[in-house]
Amino acid sequence: MVHVDRRTLLKAGATATAAGALGMTTTGTASAAVPTPTIHPTSEWGARPAAGPIVVENHKPTYIVVHHAVDPPMNNDFSLARAFYVSRFIQDLHMDKNGWIDSGQQFTNSRGGFVTEGRHRSLEILRGGTQHVQGANVGNHNSEVIGIENEGLYSTVDVPQALWDSLVNLVAYIAHQYGIAPEFIKGHRDFNSTECPGQVLYNRLPELRTAVGRVLGVSVARSEAEWPLLKPGDTGKKVQLAQQFLRASGFGVPTDGVFGKSTKDAVAALAVQAGLPRDTCTAAKAADETGFLGADVWPLIVPSGRSTAAWRADLTRA
């Protein structure tokens, strides 16, 4: 059985981060007329006090990360009161179940298009534009990301128009405040092995980048390929390649291109060995994500000697 030490894990993460930074390319002149969205602070929706000190990173975030909240379950209440309820629900879940000091995400976007502050001080620090509040929404990357929870489950259904419009406005404002290029708008699954932000919303991220670029007045360069997400039940060439890499790493899995139980068990064991974070957002409540093979697992199994970008591009085409 392969042993993955902490140095290997951190090196993989650093490689992915460096590759992403090198991929930033924008052209055009940014517009100064970026609308400031209405963001309801923690004091408005009845947030509990944080259970510990809020960490303020003395640098700007590198990425804006999109999530889907999954819980509480979706309904047709699009009111501001519902948005406040969702914010309280998520904070309670993150503090009482996950044991975090506060809401994990910096901001929450409701199905009615209302934006609330998540973790305390996030709005204050965002307005400053030079630092950012450290959240707890992307495992092993929280010092470099700012996260947005979008109310709802978007694995098979699309987002309401009001949510989409407020998401575009919020992301554009964050990008403007921090000078983040649209190519650095990511989904949670671009960092961790999770379905989040749901396949439907994830598929719309290129559209989101284009829309944000339009607000900012910049052209959006093509984003680099991301690590594919493989799940139990998947079949095909990508699965077969993953199985071959797992076998080369010491796991006795078949190479039949079918993501069955043995492959799932091997990926889950590897994740535990490497100390990868699990259940880092409520997406895991929609389906068991144990054994998902995504952005934090691929770097541990692909052969060395090639860049992260090259592997991601090849796997995308496979």
| Closest among 160, 170, 183 to 118, alpha carbons compared | 170
What pLDDT, in 10s, does the model give residues 264-289?
Answer: 999 999 999 999 987 656 555 667 89
| Closest among 17, 61, 63 to 308, alpha carbons compared | 17
pLDDT band at 32 (very low <50, low <70, confident <90, very high): low
What is residue 278's predicted lDDT score, i.e. its pLDDT? Answer: 73
What is residue 182's predicted lDDT score, i.e. its pLDDT? Answer: 97
Question: What is the value of pTM for the model shown?
Answer: 0.89
What is residue 282's predicted lDDT score, i.e. its pLDDT? Answer: 59
Q: Which parts of the chain are beta strand (E)?
A: 26-27, 39-40, 56-57, 63-68, 107-109, 115-117, 132-133, 145-150, 185-187, 219-220
d(Cα 112, Cα 106) in Å, to the nearest integer?
18
Q: 263 pLDDT exceeds 70?
A: yes
CA count, 13 A, side-chain hemisphere, 16: 24
What is residue 201's predicted lDDT score, i.e. its pLDDT? Answer: 98
- % pLDDT > 70, the chain: 87
In the structure encoding, which two tokens stand for residue 127, read together? 């307005």
Q: 13 pLDDT exceeds 50?
A: no
Contact status, residue 49 vs residue 314, Cβ threshold 8 Å: no
What pLDDT, in 10s, does the model give residues 56-93?
Answer: 999 999 999 999 998 899 999 999 999 999 999 999 99
